Amino acid sequence: MRLISWNVNGLRACLTKGFGDYFDRINADAFCLQETKMQPGQADFSPEGYEQYFNSAEKKGYSGTAIYTRMQPVSVRYGIGVEEHDHEGRVITLEFEKFYLVTVYTPNSQRELTRLSYRMAWEDAFADYLCELDREKPVVVCGDMNVAREAIDLKNPKSNERNAGYTIEERDKMKALLSRGFVDTFRLLHPDEKDRYSWWSYMMKSRERNIGWRIDYFLVSQRIAPNVKIADIHDQVLGSDHCPVILELEGME
């Protein structure tokens, strides 16, 4: 089973930059998107054989998630069931026979950390939501989680210690989530690999110089970690300031 996650930073824009070619080439069973920045029907992309699910923000042109899947879900949920957190289209959950697939676009703490306190509340609520799902069946959660969890996960850790995405508060929340029974699949298979990033600033030719951050993830419940066969970053794929990440699982069909 092949799963893809990609923050496309605007699906309509990404469609003009090769998104469709990559989608066809990668042949995923489920393709999860973050930061779609659109309402359903605003993009002309309906690949044959796939069902599509969109969770759009109430604010037009902002945030949003989507999943294209050729696997028939048992059920679909939008949001996490917490009123405070369910207006920005940040979560979709598809239930399959053997597992839950969750795509998430975690709130950014913003410049000057103006949204850090909201982010902390979100983190607790989202972690509780994942753990509730995990009590029923294993969980695969993917998306732009807006945190580089360790120094190896960004180019310049020292100078970013009080910047959004690398504060101790955000890293501690990721550590706490993992401690509750989840595994970072990329680090499971690539524990010491350096200079592997999934996001680069548009400024200062950051991507050309590979000055980036690894903030896009596939996490899985610990009990299905042995099913992980491939977890990688497609950092040569262009079209967004993020690149796709991939997970392949065996025995979960």
Report the candidate in 210, 215, 216 with the shortest Cα–Cα distance to residue 195.
210
- Determine the Cα–Cα distance for residues 213 and 102; give it in Å rounded to an integer: 22
pLDDT at 37: 98
Mean pLDDT along residues 51-71: 97
- Determine the Cα–Cα distance for residues 163 and 194; give it in Å rounded to an integer: 21
pLDDT, one tens digit per residue, over 68-102 is: 999 999 999 999 999 999 999 999 999 999 999 99
- Determine the Cα–Cα distance for residues 240 and 32; give it in Å rounded to an integer: 14
Active site residues: 105, 144
Greater confidence (73 vs 40) lies with: 73
Q: Is the pLDDT of residue 41 over 90?
A: no
pTM to 2 decimal places:
0.97
